[in-house]
Structure 1
Amino acid sequence: MVLDGVRKALSRFLSGKGDYERAVKEFIRDLQKELIKADVNVRLVLELTKKIRERALEEEPPPGITRREWFINIVYEELSKFFGGDRKPDIKPKKKPWVMLLVGLQGSGKTTTAAKLAYYYKLEGYRVGLVTADTYRPAAYDQLKQLGEQIGVPVYGEPNNKDAVEIARRGVEYFVSRGFDIVIVDTAGRHHREEDLLKEMREIAENIKPDEVVLVIDAAIGQQAHNLAKKFHTATPIGSIIVTKLDGTAKGGGALSAVAVTGATIKFIGTGEKIDELEVFRPPRFVARILGIGDLEGLVEKVRRIKVEFTEKDVEEFLSGRLNMRLVYKQLVSLRKMGPLRKILQMIPGLSLKIPLEIEAGKAEEKIKKWLAIINSMTYEELDKPEIIDRRRTRRIAYGAGVKTEDVRELLKQYEMMKKLSKQLRKRKDLLKKLQLGFKP
């Protein structure tokens, strides 16, 4: 779910010097427009913005905090409550083995989510097994089998058997008897038939006695997620929810808010198609990225999980204004391993408000290749002090990297922009610490 309009409105609000009440009114109007565009229920939007407006005009900020700074805190807090509050979902299995049963409507991305879950828990050190009990889709077994091979997780299935309950039961027994820690059971979807979905869930659950039932919801269904989540939450109190495809739909806000209002637990969200694009859902962290405040803690966690050489110290150096081409190179190499550059940059506090158009245009990966080649052509002195690179050095570097001189100048321009931005972020970082925003899980 991307609310670029909210980020732009926040940026205007922060830089504005006019009447405070008018600025609040304009920001709230933009927020309402963006949330409704994201398919959030109109009544919920009005209730949310009413609370924000009342607090913004009635509350007095603490000493040392300006009214505009305090308003950001109010928006952050109210949006966090709106999407579920500061509850931390319980991710770790309470015992071993732990059996998870996945259910969901047809097309919700359930099979891919099963593989993502398996990969997530594998990285956490658990032995994970996948069971494919979808007997309706002919290619379901092959799809999960291929995904399992891709991530190194075994898959149990019986392609010629049409008894989903028996397949699920035998699959769970297969992995439990072999000492696996977590067993994830994928089931067939139902096309907008919640009753059939819940009926199958109960039948399979009676036979395999799952420790957790997980409902997978496609963000594209928007406000309709409310009824499905409510029925599911009532039918299975031990259940949790995963909202998928948040990267590619304008209805993500509708789905998330609709689920949150039921009181059901959103445990994970799918943020892309790649196998590692699944993250624990923590509303404060999610809202921080929507607002462009950033998610430093989330970035550090992602780094830890993928085990790249991009550390919290590197982030701190960037935010403190200490930047050279060595650090830029290290970051670029690490970012390529971590996924789409734009998503990672959005996690750095304040940076998502000013992401270059080149990155938004989807050409970042090609540019990164060129930039890495350019940096590799630099001398040690140039790496430490890019400011010394003149026209003669530019021609030499371009020749060595096999690129045009314009590419070298573009990198140097981006470097200067990042350097200025890192200095600006120092102030924003201090502000975030004062408000205690963005850095909490």
Structure 2
Amino acid sequence: MRDLMDAIGSIISRIRGSTLIDEETLRSILRDLQRALIRADVDVKLVYELTKSIEEEFKEAKELPPGLTAKDYLVYLLYRKLTDLLGGDKEPDVEVKTKPYILMLVGTEGSGKTTTAGKLANFYIKRGLKVGLIETDTIRPGAFDQLRQLAERVKAMFFGDPSLGNAVNIAKAGLSRMISSKADLIIIDTAGRHRNEEELLSEVKEIYEAVKPNEVMLVVDATNGKQVGAQAEAFSKYVPVNSIFITKLDSTAKGGGALVSAVKTGARIKFIGNGEDIEDIEVFNPRRFVARLMGMGDVESLLDKVKAMEEEEEVLEDIETGKFTLLTLMKQLEAMGKLGPLSRILQMLPMGLMPQLKELNDDQLMNAQDRMRKWLSILRSMTKEELLNPNILNASRIRRIAKGSGVTPRDVRELLRYYNEMSRMMSSLKKSQRRLGSLFRRFSINQGQ
């Protein structure tokens, strides 16, 4: 998607830099837009219809909305039309209102269903739900182990028993187990590979009829571009496709085609995957997505996440009172993790905001992200006593923590050095505040005299 973002960003810059939007300039800008969308694998007919409607609406506007220039209006039209193309401005409802809620994942081989199951489990566990994962793929070697490991990582329940013989038997047994364990959300992962398409789709239909899921979610690979629509059509002939999860949207130039093709099926795009990590899942909001695509900055999304982070009242109270412990640091890092990858945070910022951050290269961003994950692993290997009282961390404890978190003692000591620096900084800040307060009080007294 980076190529499309760069291309549309250039178009916006060109509009902003134009002295006059005459007919020739308008057509030239729309030709650039057509080329950008076609390169992103958006259907040619849809591209033509989109640009034609922008041209007609721009020309027909006799009076511009108050406060808007012709350039502003053209950018607005582009934003509105792209948003409509991607499904409108309404965010999908991701709340689980019925419990237990049964979600069945379907899709072709390589679409990323199993990883998606882990991402969805993590997403809903963070919302306070008890989640169960069921693996029914008896075709792909390692499918059961992969989902079991993901379940352990996110602390979800897991069921998978290849000895039961076939996918339908596994699905029914797993469903019974999860219901008896009082799971709020039950996610069923299905196979994506068979000897032929007919066999795959028939199995999907049999599982559907056996478990009667509340929702069927089609998982599609963004690199398939406009072929996503054909996949959705094929599955919908066998089971009702209620929603779509698009994976690998961060790594392909065909993402635009995948998004548009998915919308045209009539099923709602519910989530998108924008990375390989378990945290790289995002509720798909066309309005926010287009704003980010146009370089306008998804500030609203960023502020929503920052607000959630700021609601960690306990962390804020610790900092304000000077009780800065390793537990405080762990909570801060966990809150930062909710913001997602650093590269995605920077994409949410409007162009021109904090340019020094945007100049960081991919390696620097990756190193910072990796260090944050490593430190969280170290902190989670400590006891509550160690987190609250770092002074007790001797060589023996450091070796135990390093072994438990899969790092070296040197990594643990690096974290402790960072903590000590932060602690000194917090202490210095409190002293500065006290000195500043004293200065203001003396100033006020002198002024009163």
Q: For the superposition of Structure 1 and Structure 2, which TM-score range results when normalised by the shorter chain? A: 0.7 to 0.9
1:71 partner letter: L
137-146 or 17-26, which deviates more: 17-26
Aligned to 1:138, what secondary structure does the other structure show? coil
19-28 or 63-72, which deviates more: 19-28
Say whether the 8 Å CA contact 2:64–2:70 is kept in structure 1.
yes
* Structure 2 match to 1:348: 349
* Structure 2 match to 1:12: 14
Larger Rg: 2
TM-score, with structure 1 as normaliser: 0.74
* Structure 2 match to 1:248: 251
**Distance between the aligned counterparts of 1:95 and 1:15, measured in 2?**
52
CA gap of 1:301–1:64, structure 2 versus 1, over 3 A, is closer
* Structure 2 match to 1:136: 139
- Please give the residue correspondences for 1:59-138 in structure 2 after superposition, counting only pairs within 5 Å: 59=61, 60-138=63-141
* Structure 2 match to 1:49: 51
74-83 or 37-46, which deviates more: 37-46
Deviation at 1:358, TM superposition (A): 3.2
* Structure 2 match to 1:268: 271
1:49-108 Cα deviation digits (max 9, x unpaired) = 111122222223212111111111100110011111124322122311001111110000
**Distance between the aligned counterparts of 2:429 and 2:366, measured in 1?**
25
CA gap of 1:96–1:334, structure 2 versus 1, over 3 A, is closer
* Structure 1 match to 2:401: none
CA gap of 1:14–1:191, structure 2 versus 1, over 3 A, is farther
* Structure 2 match to 1:296: 299
Aligned to 2:359, what secondary structure does the other structure show? helix
Matched, 1:184 2:196: no
**Distance between the aligned counterparts of 2:33 and 2:59, measured in 1?**
17
CA gap of 1:208–1:253, structure 2 versus 1, over 3 A, is same
Matched, 1:220 2:220: no
Out of 21, 33, 36, the position equivalent to 2:35 is 33
Say whether the 8 Å CA contact 2:302–2:339 is kept in structure 1.
no
1:43 partner letter: K
Where does the alignment leave 5 or more consecutive residues of structure 1 unmatched? 312-330, 385-441
2:28 partner letter: E
Say whether the 8 Å CA contact 2:12–2:294 is kept in structure 1.
yes
**Distance between the aligned counterparts of 1:137 and 1:11, measured in 2?**
48
Say whether the 8 Å CA contact 2:167–2:203 is kept in structure 1.
no
* Structure 2 match to 1:421: none
* Structure 2 match to 1:208: 211
1:267 partner letter: K
Deviation at 1:240, TM superposition (A): 1.2
**Distance between the aligned counterparts of 1:93 and 1:367, measured in 2?**
35
* Number of residue-to-residue matches in the alignment: 365
* Structure 2 match to 1:166: 169
CA gap of 1:167–1:252, structure 2 versus 1, over 3 A, is same
**Distance between the aligned counterparts of 2:368 and 2:177, measured in 1?**
48
Say whether the 8 Å CA contact 1:7–1:353 is kept in structure 2.
no
Say whether the 8 Å CA contact 1:233–1:239 is kept in structure 2.
no
* Structure 1 match to 2:151: 148
Deviation at 1:222, TM superposition (A): 0.8
1:384-419 Cα deviation digits (max 9, x unpaired) = 9xxxxxxxxxxxxxxxxxxxxxxxxxxxxxxxxxxx
Say whether the 8 Å CA contact 2:168–2:207 is kept in structure 1.
yes
Aligned to 1:346, what secondary structure does the other structure show? helix
**Identity across matched positions, percent:** 45
* Structure 2 match to 1:287: 290
Say whether the 8 Å CA contact 1:103–1:201 is kept in structure 2.
yes
Deviation at 1:34, TM superposition (A): 1.5
Say whether the 8 Å CA contact 2:54–2:78 is kept in structure 1.
yes
CA gap of 1:65–1:243, structure 2 versus 1, over 3 A, is same
Aligned to 2:217, what secondary structure does the other structure show? strand
CA gap of 1:352–1:109, structure 2 versus 1, over 3 A, is farther
Say whether the 8 Å CA contact 2:226–2:258 is kept in structure 1.
yes
Say whether the 8 Å CA contact 1:230–1:259 is kept in structure 2.
no
**Distance between the aligned counterparts of 1:159 and 1:293, measured in 2?**
50
**Distance between the aligned counterparts of 1:192 and 1:338, measured in 2?**
42
1:146 partner letter: Q
Say whether the 8 Å CA contact 2:305–2:338 is kept in structure 1.
no
**Distance between the aligned counterparts of 2:129 and 2:153, measured in 1?**
17
Say whether the 8 Å CA contact 2:21–2:71 is kept in structure 1.
no
Deviation at 1:294, TM superposition (A): 1.7
Aligned to 1:268, what secondary structure does the other structure show? strand
CA gap of 1:91–1:159, structure 2 versus 1, over 3 A, is same
Aligned to 2:253, what secondary structure does the other structure show? coil
* Structure 2 match to 1:359: 360
Say whether the 8 Å CA contact 1:10–1:27 is kept in structure 2.
no
1:353-382 Cα deviation digits (max 9, x unpaired) = 96866335442355798xx97x9698759x
CA gap of 1:94–1:338, structure 2 versus 1, over 3 A, is closer
**Distance between the aligned counterparts of 2:236 and 2:243, measured in 1?**
8
| Cα RMSD (Å) | 3.3
CA gap of 1:32–1:353, structure 2 versus 1, over 3 A, is farther
Say whether the 8 Å CA contact 2:202–2:238 is kept in structure 1.
no
**Distance between the aligned counterparts of 1:77 and 1:192, measured in 2?**
44
**Distance between the aligned counterparts of 1:13 and 1:354, measured in 2?**
22
Say whether the 8 Å CA contact 1:230–1:264 is kept in structure 2.
no
CA gap of 1:131–1:304, structure 2 versus 1, over 3 A, is farther
* Structure 2 match to 1:278: 281
338-347 or 197-206, which deviates more: 338-347
Deviation at 1:351, TM superposition (A): 4.8
